Each structure stands twice: as C-alpha cells, then as structure tokens.
Amino acid sequence: MQRIEQLANERQKFVVTADYIGPQRRKDREKDDSEDGLKLDLVEVPNTLGSKARGEEVDNYELQKLISEAQTEINEQRLKRNAPEIAMLVKEIVPAFQDGNVDDVIKAKVKSLSGFAADVSERLSGTSYMNVSDLCAILGSIASALQHENPNPKNIALLTPLSEAISVSFNPTEESSGLADQVVALVRQYIEKNAADFARLE
C-alpha cells in the first residue's frame, strides 16, 4: 500500500539512455550526464494513478495526447543517445572489414549495430528527425547485410559518413546545424551515384 501511495504521489520522471528507459532513481545524475557527453533531460510522463488517487477526472483524449507527447519525447531522447553508440561501433567495424580482420568480437559489434539501427528506424515516426529516415534505413540494410554476406567495399566505405550524418542530425548544435545539412546532402549524393550497389540492399 505504501508503495502504491509513493507511486501516486511521487511519480519519478523518466530517464532515457542507450540501454535504459524508465524512472530516474539516481539522486546524483552527474554520472549519467557524462557517460556519452550528452546532457540528460528527464521526461515527464502521465501519472494516471496519482490523478485517480486525488479523485481527479481523467479525460481520455487529453490522456492519450499526453502519452503520445511523452512517447515522442522518449523516442527523440533515445535517438540522441543511440547516435554516439552507432558512431563508436562503426569506428571499430569499418577498419576491421577493410583490413580483413573480422573476428567474433567484430561480428558481435555488427550485430549490435544492426540492433541500434533497427531501434532507430522504429522510433523515427512522429519525431523531428524523419528527414533522415532514408539514411537510417540504409544504415540498417548495410548492418544487416554485413551479418550474412561478403560486403561490398562501397557499403563499408559509406558506414562512416552515414553514421556522421545521423549523429549531427540527431545532436545538432548552433555551430553544426549548417554542417549537418551538408553532410546529409553529400551522403545522399554518394548513395544516388552508387544507386545500383545500394539497390541490392533493399
């Protein structure tokens, strides 16, 4: 009973990291903020239990609206958190494939990259990052292909600029906003120029 009352009256905001979404339990958030260099923004989520406990009437339309807004914010936070993880994996995967040193460790990293790419694609809808959905789809296709076939060198070469384009798009700054558009445009030009190679990934 005490636990229920605590949930109703002291609903914790949600924290979003690359591997966790849920109530923030740490009193000291400095470690969270410094793990990947990104500021951790807590997400306010609807507290229907608290509303009912206080005898407040819950409007279903407003509730669904709040849930949708919270879900979008959670998805955008997760996308921001996924970008550095993707960049880190690509930084290790690309030279390994280019040098022919693909061992079990690298294969595991490719599998992780594929998982992050899938998570990104699933969370894009309704966010402000839909403009790079095509790049995320290509990333997922390349990551998936790396697990099952001998990769095309052009696909391997694309991974680095692709991850950079996604990173600057998900985590833009005032200084990088213009650069983000340029990087995305260059990656799209490369894909169009080598359309035949990337068509095989679809």
Query: Same domain, yes or no, for 133 and 171?
Result: yes
Query: Same domain, yes or no, for 63 and 81?
Result: no
Query: Same domain, yes or no, for 190 and 100?
Result: yes
Helices of type H across the chain: 2-9, 30-34, 48-53, 60-98, 104-123, 133-146, 153-170, 177-193, 195-199
According to the model, what pLDDT value does residue 201 have?
Answer: 55
Query: Same domain, yes or no, for 114 and 185?
Result: yes
Q: What is the DSSP string of 137-154?
A: HHHHHHHHHHTTSPPPHH
* DSSP-assigned letter for residue 11: P
Query: Same domain, yes or no, for 102 and 159?
Result: yes
Query: Same domain, yes or no, for 162 and 89?
Result: yes
Tokens for 82? 């996924």
- The domain total for the chain is 2
According to the model, what pLDDT value does residue 102 have?
Answer: 93
pTM for the predicted model, two decimal places = 0.73
Instruction: Reduce the DSSP state of residue 43 to 3 states and report it.
Output: strand
Query: Same domain, yes or no, for 127 and 169?
Result: yes
CA distance 170 to 47: 29
Query: Same domain, yes or no, for 63 and 88?
Result: no
According to the model, what pLDDT value does residue 160 have?
Answer: 92
Query: Same domain, yes or no, for 83 and 155?
Result: yes
CA distance 148 to 127: 31
According to the model, what pLDDT value does residue 85 have?
Answer: 93
Q: Is 61 exposed, middle or buried (0-12, 13-18, 19+ CB in 10 A)?
A: exposed
According to the model, what pLDDT value does residue 135 have?
Answer: 85
Is residue 155 within 8 Å of residue 198, measured between CB atoms? Answer: yes
Provide the 10 A C-beta neighbour count for residue 101.
Answer: 10
Is residue 77 within 8 Å of residue 83, measured between CB atoms? Answer: no
Chunk the chain into consecutive blocks of 10 residues (it has 202) and report each block's average pLDDT, rounded to whole numbers: 48 74 61 52 66 61 78 88 93 94 94 93 89 87 84 87 88 66 77 67 54
**Residue after which a domain boundary falls, among 68, 90, 105:** 68
**Residue after which a domain boundary falls, among 46, 68, 90:** 68
Query: Same domain, yes or no, for 175 and 106?
Result: yes
**Residue after which a domain boundary falls, among 28, 51, 68:** 68
Tokens for 104? 């079990």
Q: Which domain holds residue 44?
A: 2-68
Query: Same domain, yes or no, for 87 and 146?
Result: yes
